[in-house]
C-alpha cells in the first residue's frame, strides 16, 4: 500500500480522491488552507492519517507546509490537486503581491515540489483549458495585461502541465504526470458542469497508486486514464525551463537536482 499526500483535500476532487485511496487501504495525509478547514477535512475522511494546514497563496506558508510534510517522513506519491478557479473578477493580490490564481495554481505546486522530499510519483491536476494558455510566459504576475480571470486560470493550468513534464525530464527516478479531470460539478466547476463527477477523481488515484503498466509511466498527460494531447508547448524544453526559472525568481526557491 502507498502513502499519499493530497493538497486541497478538504472538499471537492481532493476529498473524493482521498476517500477512494483510504477505501483501497492506502495511507493518506490531507491538506487544507487553515487549521479549521483541516479539522473539517479529517472529520470528512476520518481514516486519513492526519490533515495539515497551510495557505498556498502565501509563499511562507507553502514553505512551512513542505516542512510539515517532510517531518512526517517520505511519501510514495503527492497529488497536487489544490487550485482556485477563474471566477475572480479582478487581480486579487496575495500577501506577496502576486495574483491569487498564479500563487495557488502555479507557484505553490512548484514550491512544494522543490521542498518536499522526492516521492516516487508526482501527479499534477491540469485542465482542458490549459490548451488556451499563453506559452509565451510573458507577464506571469499580470502587472501589464488587463486582468482576465479565465485566461489567468488557463495559463496556470498550462504551467501545471509544464511542471509535470519538467519533473519527468529532470527527475527520471520519479514518475511525474498531469491530467485533466473534466469539467465537473464541484464548487469550482459549478452546478451546471456537464462531465461525469464520479469519474473525475479516477485518474489521479490511478496515477498515484496503481501498478498497472499504463499508470507507471512518466511525462504523460491523461483524461479518464487515457493519454490525451496537450498544448504543443508542454513538451518544449525551452518553455519548461523558462517557467522553472520564473518560478525560482518569484519564490526565491530553486529546484534541487
CB 182 within 8 A of CB 200: yes
223 is catalytic: no
Strands (E), 175-228: 175-180, 221-223, 226-227
Catalytic residue among 86, 110, 124, 157: 157
Q: How far apart are CA 176 and CA 207, in angstroms?
A: 9
Q: How far apart are CA 16 and CA 125, in angstroms?
A: 14
User: Residue 142, CB half-sphere, CA atoms under 13 Å: how many?
Assistant: 23
124 is catalytic: no
Given phi > 0 = left and psi -120 to 50 = alpha, else beta, which region is 71? alpha
Given phi > 0 = left and psi -120 to 50 = alpha, else beta, which region is 94? beta
* C-alpha cell of residue 167: 519533473
Contacts of 42 (CB under 8 A, 6+ apart): 30, 48, 50, 51
CB 53 within 8 A of CB 28: no
CA angle 178, 149, 81 (to 5 degrees): 30
Catalytic residue among 43, 153, 187, 221: 153
Q: Which residues are catalytic?
A: 153, 157
Amino acid at each position: 500500500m502507498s502513502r499519499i499526500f493530497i493538497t486541497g483535500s478538504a472538499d471537492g476532487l481532493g476529498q473524493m480522491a482521498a476517500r477512494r485511496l483510504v477505501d483501497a487501504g492506502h495511507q493518506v495525509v490531507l491538506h487544507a488552507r487553515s487549521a479549521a478547514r483541516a479539522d473539517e477535512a479529517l472529520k470528512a475522511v476520518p481514516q486519513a492519517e492526519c490533515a495539515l494546514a497551510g495557505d498556498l497563496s502565501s509563499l511562507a506558508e507553502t514553505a512551512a507546509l513542505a516542512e510539515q510534510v517532510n517531518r512526517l517522513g517520505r511519501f510514495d506519491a503527492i497529488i497536487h490537486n489544490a487550485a482556485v478557479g477563474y471566477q475572480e473578477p479582478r487581480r486579487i493580490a496575495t500577501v506577496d503581491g502576486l495574483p491569487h490564481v498564479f500563487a495557488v495554481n502555479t507557484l505553490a505546486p512548484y514550491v512544494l515540489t522543490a521542498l518536499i522530499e522526492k516521492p516516487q510519483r508526482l501527479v499534477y491536476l491540469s485542465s482542458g483549458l490549459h490548451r488556451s494558455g499563453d506559452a509565451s510566459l510573458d507577464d506571469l504576475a499580470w502587472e501589464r495585461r488587463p486582468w482576465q480571470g479565465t485566461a489567468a486560470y488557463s495559463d496556470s493550468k498550462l504551467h501545471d502541465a509544464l511542471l509535470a513534464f519538467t519533473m519527468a525530464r529532470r527527475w527520471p527516478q520519479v514518475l511525474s504526470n498531469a491530467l485533466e479531470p473534466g469539467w465537473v460539478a464541484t464548487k469550482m466547476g459549478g452546478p451546471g458542469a456537464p462531465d461525469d463527477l464520479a469519474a473525475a477523481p479516477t485518474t489521479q488515484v490511478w496515477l498515484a497508486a496503481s501498478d498497472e503498466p499504463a499508470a507507471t509511466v512518466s511525462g504523460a498527460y491523461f483524461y479518464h486514464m487515457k493519454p490525451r494531447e496537450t498544448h504543443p508547448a508542454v513538451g518544449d524544453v525551452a518553455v519548461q525551463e523558462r517557467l522553472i526559472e520564473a518560478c525560482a525568481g518569484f519564490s526565491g526557491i530553486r529546484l534541487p537536482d
